[in-house]
Structure 1
Amino acid sequence: MFKYFFIIVLIGLQNAYAQSHTNVAYGKFQTSGTDSVYHHSNNYTGLGDIKWKFKTRGKVFSSPAICNGVAYVGSEDHCLYAIVVKTGKLLWRFTTSGAVSSSPTVYNNLVYFGSYDSYYYALNATNGKLVWKFKTAGERKIGAKGLWGMSPKDKYMEDQYDFFLSSPVIYLSSKGLTVYFGSSDGNLYALDGITGKKRWAFKTNGIIHASPAVYQGKVYIGSWDSFLYALDAATGKFEWKFETGKQPIYHLLEGIQSSPVCADGMVYFGSRDGFFYALNAADGKQVWKYNADNSWVLATATINSGVVYIGTSDTFLFLAFDAKTGKEKLRYRCNGYIYSSPVVSGNIAYFGDFSGNLLAVDIKTGKLTSKFSTNGRVKNAIHILNRKGDLDFNFLAKGMNNSLYATSVIVMNKIYTLAPIVSSSVVNNSIIYFGSTDGYLYAVNLK
């Protein structure tokens, strides 16, 4: 019970991170083709030295989007930032009334993102001026009284592992530009991307913090009600739903936090029920699933050349599977939870972990080639990690009452001193960009 990343659709367009055209979409994941947008063709061999880092005033869970020489990223300090990638200097900052844990998407000089102030925004990407905003019925973290049986039983407790808001996904069709996102009010929204007017909304029975995927005319979304839904992308009409595992008492443990990714007629996603699923995208029938040994699978998958890459939470594993069969092809164990999604560049996969490392793993050999450690990890690992160098709740909670919610909060605050990397990475022009809970957006050279 204790613990021991948003997609975009590019219709007929190229890899967003490798291009710099103003009418191309930039954001977290791509599902319209056979490969995830996190695949990059250049043959880098690993991580080099740091180019720059930009300090915000809050934790960065948001994943950056890079467009026309500018990096866009949100922070818990309530701001969305636009940073010049050549210099690491601020271009502009837009302030909301809540934490910005949604990842931005940029299209045609508009940047889209959500905030815990219950608004989803469209800004002018050049100057940060508001174009429109849309109010949901309210954004909040998942939680419950006596969460997971913790004390005091009558206290409302926020889930400390609910890091992200749903990130906007854009879809260009004959009906124009549509932006999709989920909300804590349980709805999947479809808005006109230019005006912000609602096209339709679909109500689930749980909070939605996952990001949607649009693929072959359908939009897919996971909810905290434990179902993955498939809807008609144009009308919001229900097509099918797939139920993951849940328990009557601890059902909050089993919601879908991972965002779906689609390729080659399949839809892939992880769940808090301890499984990673591969479904037929047309009818929702299960093709295969991976048993993560009761570990949450919160990171959104990356698909590259018929291989699915994922990270697990409690088991600290970076894994690769044959996309069609589910046969395991690669396994690498790191030192903490993996919540960021990998970016594949040549033969190297890059991903962050909760111990404060950005790791570069060779996808052919499964060996670590290099790593980058945040300052927090360098400074505090000796005090926070156990003798094996791993995150360990019991080690950090020694001498405290594990049944108390306060203990969980204290332990998480200790872990945050490592400056965990929960944000997913972006590769652009020989540089990898990622955020950290130390409040920095990092730019690190690749070699």
Structure 2
Amino acid sequence: MRKNAKSLFVTIIILVLLSVDPLYSQNITNTITNTMEGNSVKERFGLPTYSSEIINEYSAEDKIVLPFVYNGFIYTFSLNRKRPLWRFFIGGDLENPFVLNGKRLFFFDIYNRLYSVNLADGKLMWIRDVNDEIIGQPFIVKNKIVIATQKGNILAFSEADGKLIMQYDTEREIAGGINFYNNLMIIAFKEGLIEAYNIYTGKKVWQFANTGFISVKPVVNKGKLFFGTWDNNFYSLDVKEGKLVWVNYVGSEVSRDFLVFKNSIVLFLSGGEILSLNKQNGVIEWVKYFKGIDFDYNYFGGIDKFYVFIPELIAYDPNNGSMVFAYRERTYKLYEDMLFDMMVEGKHFIDEKEREKLLRDKYFVVNNYPILPPVKSDDLAYYVGDDSNLYVYDIKKDFFILKYKLE
């Protein structure tokens, strides 16, 4: 009976999420919302309330706006005019607690309140309490904001006005958030269980259980679901059916985010170890060790490379583990090529002052660690370093296009 009841609740949340039956969805929305809404955040919980602080006025020139977290605030930064626009206090340095959708930015704070703000000026559109620790990055599905919590709740809010549409308690701890793939919602639980539900029918499509603890959110890529466990194993499942494709022993617990490429999967393990698996069969292809390095936020993936801060930025080939370039050498070579081209083209002579400016503002060397995981946005990766500079890296050009000192 308990199993049937849980299956029914999963069906309800997914039907509401996709708005399959508008009338039925509205009835549920009214019931849940009336019990959740009422007094303001400040009145109900005695928590401080905040608003955005304008740093620079928004302009029509601001086509590329980058959100990031720094020093307890969420910032927005205009890449076009190279200046911050506004900031909003969230109480701590949370790991990528936001999702951007058009002109709206959605994020949560350390008090587990979910916000919707105008991207241009930070104007608060709505705020909702969650009352449980939010984990993972918010998802946008069918004009709804979907979040997961530490205790196993999945909640869907209206993107337009923040009304709570549905809340479902899985009664298990969720590992790092949830995934969506085509018509499936995939939930990984810390206890080692993974379940997939059809978002149109609400029925459970498959379930996979293993004996290892899961602490890192799985990755869905090209029809496969990849995940690692604390019993030192790494798995590949067919995401449509949940069938095991392969499993391999990797010799260490998988407790850090991993990177999935076209032909390989790169794992960052304890003791400065990097290990690569063949994506098709899970066979270990190469292993590298970095003495005195502990992998945390000091790496990110590119198109056909991955990058490691040691603290100098080094690019590696995921297929064989070979070094592609050290950024210090690369940027200096580009600087020399630029000087040579200017000489050949007969352009004006660059004096010492201009050279210093070029080396400081364009051909600079990076020797700092990110304080939070780098954010990926289209062809850009960006982060705040431990020197309080915002760095923006163009992945296609393999070149830093910005270094900006934050106050």
CA drift at 1:357: 5.2
2:239 corresponds to which residue? Answer: 281
Does 2:68 align with 1:73? yes
| Cα distance change, pair 282–372 in 1 and its aligned pair in 2 (3 A) | same
CA drift at 1:317: 3.5
Contact 1:210–1:257 at 8 Å: present in 2 too?
yes
| Cα distance change, pair 206–115 in 1 and its aligned pair in 2 (3 A) | farther
CA drift at 1:92: 0.8
Matches within 5 A, 1:402-413: none
In structure 1, distance between residues paired with 2:201 and 2:386 = 38
Does 2:101 align with 1:101? no
| Cα distance change, pair 298–433 in 1 and its aligned pair in 2 (3 A) | same
Q: TM-score w.r.t. structure 1 length?
A: 0.57
CA drift at 1:88: 4.3
In structure 2, distance between residues paired with 1:260 and 1:197 = 29
2:374 corresponds to which residue? Answer: 424
2:145 corresponds to which letter in structure 1? V
Contact 2:96–2:375 at 8 Å: present in 1 too?
no
Contact 1:102–1:115 at 8 Å: present in 2 too?
no
CA drift at 1:424: 3.3
Equivalent residue for 2:165, pick from 199, 209, 214: 199
Matches within 5 A, 1:100-179: 100-139=94-133, 165-171=135-141, 176-179=142-145
Residue correspondences, number: 294
1:424 corresponds to which letter in structure 2? P
Equivalent residue for 2:221, pick from 251, 258, 263: 263
CA drift at 1:209: 5.5
| Cα distance change, pair 356–81 in 1 and its aligned pair in 2 (3 A) | same
Does 2:220 align with 1:225? no
CA drift at 1:421: 5.5
Contact 1:321–1:327 at 8 Å: present in 2 too?
yes
| Cα distance change, pair 72–236 in 1 and its aligned pair in 2 (3 A) | farther
Does 2:333 align with 1:359? no
CA drift at 1:217: 0.9
2:307 corresponds to which residue? Answer: 350
| Cα distance change, pair 194–233 in 1 and its aligned pair in 2 (3 A) | farther
CA drift at 1:82: 0.4
Q: Which of 1 and 2 has higher RCO (CA within 8 Å, sep 6+)?
A: 1
Residue by residue, what CA displacement relative to the aligned partner does 1:60-118 show, whole Å, maximum 9, x if unpaired? xxxxxxx941111124x432110122454211111234543334221121122222211
| Cα distance change, pair 191–437 in 1 and its aligned pair in 2 (3 A) | farther
| Cα distance change, pair 219–372 in 1 and its aligned pair in 2 (3 A) | farther
In structure 2, distance between residues paired with 1:266 and 1:279 = 6
1:13 corresponds to which residue? Answer: none
| Cα distance change, pair 68–233 in 1 and its aligned pair in 2 (3 A) | farther
Residue by residue, what CA displacement relative to the aligned partner does 1:171-212 show, whole Å, maximum 9, x if unpaired? 3xxxx3232221123212233333323333332344436132
Contact 1:204–1:223 at 8 Å: present in 2 too?
no
Instruction: Report which stretch shifted further, 79-88 or 436-445.
Output: 436-445
CA drift at 1:243: 2.9
1:45 corresponds to which residue? Answer: none
Matches within 5 A, 1:1-400: 68-75=63-70, 77-86=71-80, 88-139=82-133, 165-171=135-141, 176-208=142-174, 210-233=176-199, 238-246=204-212, 254=213, 256-302=214-260, 304-305=261-262, 307-335=263-291, 336-340=293-297, 342-345=300-303, 347-352=304-309, 356=311, 358-371=313-326
In structure 2, distance between residues paired with 1:209 and 1:122 = 25
In structure 2, distance between residues paired with 1:133 and 1:274 = 41
Residue by residue, what CA displacement relative to the aligned partner does 1:114-153 show, whole Å, maximum 9, x if unpaired? 222111222212221222233222228xxxxxxxxxxxxx
Residue by residue, what CA displacement relative to the aligned partner does 1:12-41 show, whole Å, maximum 9, x if unpaired? xxxxxxxxxxxxxxxxxxxxxxxxxxxxxx
CA drift at 1:279: 1.2
The Cα RMSD (Å) is 3.2
Q: TM-score w.r.t. structure 2 length?
A: 0.62
2:128 corresponds to which letter in structure 1? F
Q: Indicate the structure with greater helix content.
A: 2
CA drift at 1:368: 1.9
Contact 1:268–1:276 at 8 Å: present in 2 too?
yes
In structure 1, distance between residues paired with 2:290 and 2:372 = 14
Q: What are structure 1's unaligned runs of at least 5 residues?
A: 1-66, 141-164, 247-253, 374-417
Contact 1:114–1:167 at 8 Å: present in 2 too?
no
2:169 corresponds to which letter in structure 1? K
| Cα distance change, pair 190–332 in 1 and its aligned pair in 2 (3 A) | farther
In structure 1, distance between residues paired with 2:287 and 2:326 = 17
Contact 1:139–1:184 at 8 Å: present in 2 too?
yes
| Cα distance change, pair 363–99 in 1 and its aligned pair in 2 (3 A) | closer
